[in-house]
Amino acid sequence: MLRRTTLALLIGLLAAAHSSADEPKAWAEGNLADLVSLYRHFHQHPELSFQEKETAARLADELEKAGYRVTRNVGGHGVVGLLKHGDGPTLMLRTDLDALPVVEQTGLVYSSQVRAKDDAGNDVGVMHACGHDLHMTNLIGTARYLAENKDRWRGTLLLVGQPAEERGKGARAMLADGLFEKFPKPDFALALHVDAAAAVGQVGCRAGYALANVDSVDITIKGKGGHGAYPHATIDPIVIAARFVLDLQTIVSREVKPTDPAVVTVGSIHAGTKHNVIPDACQLQLTVRSYSPEVRKQLLAAIQRKAKAAAASAAAPEPVVTVSDEGTPALFNDEELVGRLIPVFERAVGKENVVLAEQSMGGEDFSHYGLAGVPIFMLRLGTIDPQRLAGFARFVQQPPSLHSPLYYPDAEPSLVTGITAMSAAALDLLAPKSLEK
Mean pLDDT of 279-304: 98
What CATH number should be reported for the domain holding residue 252?
A: 3.30.70.360
**Same domain, yes or no, for 258 and 299?**
yes
- Note whether 183 and 79 are within 8 A (CB): no
Owning domain of residue 42: 17-211+330-435
Specify if 8 maps to a domain: no
Total structural domains within the chain: 2
Determine the length of the chain. 437
Confidence at residue 437, expressed as pLDDT on a 0 to 100 scale: 52
DSSP state of 151: G
For helices 335-349 and 411-429, the axis angle rounded to 10 degrees is: 120
Dihedral angle at the C-alpha atoms of 251, 280, 123, 47, nearest 10 degrees? 30
**Same domain, yes or no, for 277 and 374?**
no
- pLDDT digit string (tens) for 309-330? 999 999 999 999 999 988 999 9
Confidence band (pLDDT; 50, 70, 90) for 433? confident
Q: Which residues contact 130 (CB under 8 A, 6 or more apart)?
A: 99, 100, 166, 194, 402, 403
User: Is the predicted pLDDT of residue 261 greater than 80, yes or no?
Assistant: yes
- Domain limit, last residue, from 323, 347, 375: 323
**Same domain, yes or no, for 371 and 247?**
no
Active site residue 64: no
Confidence at residue 21, expressed as pLDDT on a 0 to 100 scale: 53
3-state secondary structure of 195: strand
C-alpha span between 304 and 282 (Å, rounded): 16
C-alpha span between 36 and 41 (Å, rounded): 9
Which of 98, 133, 166, 428 is labelled catalytic?
A: 98
Confidence at residue 5, expressed as pLDDT on a 0 to 100 scale: 45
C-alpha span between 243 and 357 (Å, rounded): 38
Mean pLDDT in the chain?
Answer: 94
Q: Which of 228, 203, 210, 197 is closest to 355 using CA atoms?
A: 203
**Same domain, yes or no, for 114 and 259?**
no
- In SS3 terms, 314-383 reads as CCCCCCEEEECCCCECCEEECHHHHHHHHHHHHHHHCHHHEEECCCCCCCCCCHHHHHCCCCEEEEEEEE
Active site residue 326: no
Q: Which of 102, 158, 156, 157 is closest to 132 using CA atoms?
A: 102
C-alpha span between 51 and 163 (Å, rounded): 8
- Domain limit, last residue, from 323, 355, 372: 323
Computed from CA positions of residues 366, 371, 372, 377, in that sequence, does the dihedral angle turn out positive or negative?
positive
Confidence at residue 189, expressed as pLDDT on a 0 to 100 scale: 98
User: Is the predicted pLDDT of residue 18 greater than 60, yes or no?
Assistant: no
**Same domain, yes or no, for 63 and 201?**
yes
User: Is the predicted pLDDT of residue 7 greater than 60, yes or no?
Assistant: no
User: Is the predicted pLDDT of residue 347 greater than 70, yes or no?
Assistant: yes
**Same domain, yes or no, for 122 and 200?**
yes
- pLDDT digit string (tens) for 229-245? 999 999 999 999 999 99
Q: Which of 118, 97, 112, 212 is closest to 160 using CA atoms?
A: 97
Specify if 11 maps to a domain: no
**Same domain, yes or no, for 102 and 152?**
yes
Mean pLDDT of 255-281: 97
**Same domain, yes or no, for 312 and 349?**
no
**Same domain, yes or no, for 276 and 360?**
no
User: Is the predicted pLDDT of residue 19 greater than 80, yes or no?
Assistant: no
**Same domain, yes or no, for 109 and 98?**
yes
C-alpha span between 44 and 127 (Å, rounded): 8
3-state secondary structure of 437: coil
Q: Phi, psi at residue 18, to the nearest 5°?
A: -65, -45
- pLDDT digit string (tens) for 169-190? 999 999 999 999 999 999 999 9
Confidence band (pLDDT; 50, 70, 90) for 436? low
**Same domain, yes or no, for 179 and 30?**
yes
Confidence band (pLDDT; 50, 70, 90) for 22? confident
Specify if 9 maps to a domain: no
Specify if 37 maps to a domain: yes
pTM listed for this prediction: 0.91
Specify if 116 maps to a domain: yes
Q: What is the DSSP string of 43-100?
A: HHS--BTT--HHHHHHHHHHHHHTT-EEEEEETTTEEEEEEEESSS-EEEEEEE--BB
Mean pLDDT of 290-301: 98
User: Is the predicted pLDDT of residue 2 greater than 70, yes or no?
Assistant: no
Confidence band (pLDDT; 50, 70, 90) for 76? very high
Mean pLDDT of 194-213: 98
- Note whether 148 and 67 are within 8 A (CB): no
**Same domain, yes or no, for 198 and 231?**
no
- Domain limit, last residue, from 275, 294, 323: 323
Which of 104, 165, 364, 365 is labelled catalytic?
A: 165
C-alpha span between 140 and 36 (Å, rounded): 11
Q: Which residues contact 421 (CB under 8 A, 6 or more apart)?
A: 192, 203, 345, 348, 349, 379, 381
